[in-house]
């Protein structure tokens, strides 16, 4: 056993430590603070004996010191950890003292050691896996395996970004994060968390209210058709350059009947019987343009996002345009950009030069809609942009200009016509081309018109 006066130097900290005790009493460590750590609003003290944590407490800034009693008759290597914590629970300074302890310790000893600042501060993060969800993070190293019974705990440097993902989800479920994440888009439901303060991440299974969303890259493309294309209609001219700048996400599929019911508590679709359960995975149809924007707003509210549209009767405005982070209809240019998936003008349909591979149209539909995502996806993993149902977009209908454009939102429209894209189960292959566009009154409801979602993101 080491001498009672033999101290192992504190790794970091600024304290005066006095060890003492009265005859027959249990040993006591007296810690007198000479200087409060800068930025700290409270001290967190933790005691260990032979590597086993056994008790902790906090010290307020108005206190000049604290006493740590040692259990009567216990001996071994004692360790005292002291952390300076800011107002959010992040560690801004800290250190530790080690000493061989035992019942014979009865000698007073003092030693001063300075608390060292921790730059950057370290903030505690706790991840609580629910319902068998596995949560991983990079680069900080959270790894909550499926079936974990206790939360995963870690400390991350202040300002670092944790990329969390929930996988191994049951069909028909998604996840809800108990923290404000930057975005949740992808099928695996990724969540980026900036560590700025003490955080607890709660992951819960939830029913999917929305189609899966996919972030798309920004870029430039030629919109419309060449005048030499024998299948092109006159409103597809002139072909012109469009830049899509700033992030956006597009729904992987059209909004289904199941998803529409969950949000709007109704299902206006014609094709929903007799195989009701199967038919819920068909796209919702018989929805007007106003019905579609109302759905976008309601889903935004349910997911805690700002609604993008102001709706008064049949009048709809979009005040913040692409700055709004809630759900919205895609711009017409975004829709065609997503359908082409970086292939330029080389792909006639969304994902193939062969309509039958990617589209339900009049040649193969059997005069009905079909469950989404049953045909081949395009190069960006999006389904049914050709065929199944026409899809509402935001833009009022107008002729194309010849100049280059950036993020065109189209005219507001005079109420007489909004654009639909993609063709439907009732049309031949000419209408399911990615360049084809159509004009429909915003109040129009028909069994071959539906919609899909888009979102802006930073």
The structure's pTM equals: 0.70
Q: What percent of the chain has pLDDT above 90?
A: 50
| Tokens (6 digits) for 338 | 């997503």
Residue 11 has what pLDDT?
A: 33
Query: CA angle 332-337-343, nearest 5°?
Result: 150
Length of the chain: 458
Residue with tokens 């993902």: 165
State the Cα–Cα distance between residues 228 and 231, nearest whole angstrom. Answer: 9
Which parts of the chain have pLDDT scores under 70?
Answer: 1-34, 63-75, 99-114, 131, 146-147, 168-173, 180, 182-189, 208, 274-277, 412-415
Query: CA angle 209-180-247, nearest 5°?
Result: 75
Cis-peptide, bond into residue 120, ω within 30° of zero: yes
| Selection from 278, 219, 281, 277 nearest residue 254 by Cα | 281
Residue 6 has what pLDDT?
A: 27
- pLDDT tens for residues 214-242? 889 999 999 999 999 999 999 999 999 99
Query: CA angle 22-24-25, nearest 5°?
Result: 60
What is the set of domains in the chain, with CATH numbers?
15-114 (2.60.40.10), 121-207 (2.60.40), 213-457 (3.90.1580.10)
- Cβ neighbours of residue 423 closer than 8 Å, sequence gap 6 or more: 359, 361, 386, 387, 390, 431, 432, 433, 436
Residue 267 has what pLDDT?
A: 95
State the Cα–Cα distance between residues 372 and 354, nearest whole angstrom. Answer: 18
CA 9 → CA 14, 32, 43, 116, 455, distances in Å? 12, 16, 19, 13, 56
Residue 456 has what pLDDT?
A: 93
SS (H, E, C) the chain: CCCCCCCECCCCCCEEEEEECCCCCCCEEEEEECCCCCCCCEEEEEEEECCEEEEEEEECCCCCEEEEECCCCCCEEEEEEEEEECCCCCEEEEEEEEEEECCCCCCCCCCEECCEEEEEEEEEEEEECCCCCEEEEECCCCEECCCCCCCEEEEEECCCEEEEEEECCCCCEEEEECCCCCCCCCCCCEEEEECCCCEEEEEEEEECCCCCEEEECCEEEEECCCCCCCCCCHHHCCCEEEEECCEEEEECCCCEHHHHHHHHCCCCCCCCCCCHHHHCCCECCCCCHHHHHHHHHHHHHHCCCCCCCEEECCEEECCCHHHCCCEECCCHHHHHHHHHCCCCCCCCECCECCHHHHCCCCCCCCCCCCCCCCCCCCCCCCCCCCCCCEEEEEEECCCCCCCCEECCCCCCCCCCCEEEECCCCCCCHHHHCCCCEEEECCCCCCCCEEECCEEEEC
Pairing of strands 199-207, 116-128: parallel
| Tokens (6 digits) for 76 | 């071994």
């Amino acid at each position: 056993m080491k001498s009672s006066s033999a101290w192992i130097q504190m790794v970091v900290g600024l304290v005066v430590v006095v060890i003492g005790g009265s005859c027959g009493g249990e040993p006591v460590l007296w810690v007198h603070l000479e200087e409060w750590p800068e930025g700290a609003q409270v001290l967190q003290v933790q005691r260990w004996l032979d590597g086993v944590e056994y008790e902790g407490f906090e010290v307020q800034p108005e206190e000049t010191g604290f006493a740590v009693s040692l259990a009567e008759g216990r001996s071994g290597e004692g360790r005292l950890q002291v952390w300076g914590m800011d107002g959010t629970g992040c560690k801004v300074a800290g250190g530790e003292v080690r000493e061989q302890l035992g019942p014979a310790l009865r000698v007073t000893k003092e030693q001063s050691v300075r608390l060292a600042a921790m730059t950057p501060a370290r903030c505690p993060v706790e991840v609580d896996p629910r319902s068998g969800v596995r949560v991983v993070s990079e680069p900080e190293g959270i790894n909550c395996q499926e079936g974990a019974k206790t939360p995963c705990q870690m400390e991350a440097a202040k300002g670092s970004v944790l990329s969390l993902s929930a996988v191994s989800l049951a069909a028909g479920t998604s996840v809800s994060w108990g923290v404000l994440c930057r975005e949740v888009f992808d099928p695996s439901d990724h969540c980026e968390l900036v560590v700025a303060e003490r955080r607890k991440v709660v992951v819960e299974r939830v029913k999917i209210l929305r189609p899966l969303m996919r972030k798309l890259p920004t870029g430039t493309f030629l919109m419309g058709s060449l005048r030499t294309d024998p299948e092109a209609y006159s409103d597809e001219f002139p072909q012109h350059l469009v830049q899509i700048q700033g992030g956006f996400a597009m729904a992987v599929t059209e909004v289904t009947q199941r998803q529409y019911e969950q949000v709007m508590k109704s299902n206006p679709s014609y094709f929903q019987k007799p195989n009701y359960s199967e038919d819920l995975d068909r796209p919702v149809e018989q929805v007007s343009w106003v019905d579609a924007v109302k759905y976008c707003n309601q889903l935004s509210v349910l997911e805690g996002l700002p609604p993008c549209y102001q709706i008064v009767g049949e009048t709809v405005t979009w005040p913040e345009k692409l700055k709004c982070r809630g759900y919205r209809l895609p711009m017409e240019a975004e829709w065609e950009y997503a359908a082409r998936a970086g292939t330029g003008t080389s792909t006639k349909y969304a994902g193939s030069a062969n309509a039958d591979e990617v589209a339900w149209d009049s040649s193969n539909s059997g005069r009905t809609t079909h469950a989404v995502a049953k045909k081949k996806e395009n190069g960006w993993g999006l389904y049914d942009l050709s065929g199944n149902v026409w899809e509402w977009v935001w833009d009022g209908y107008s002729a194309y200009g010849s100049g280059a454009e950036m993020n065109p939102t189209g005219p507001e429209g005079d109420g007489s016509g909004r654009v639909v894209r993609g063709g439907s189960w009732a049309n031949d292959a000419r209408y399911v081309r990615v360049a084809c566009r159509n004009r429909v009154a915003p109040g129009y409801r028909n069994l071959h018109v539906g919609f899909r979602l888009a979102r802006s993101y930073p």
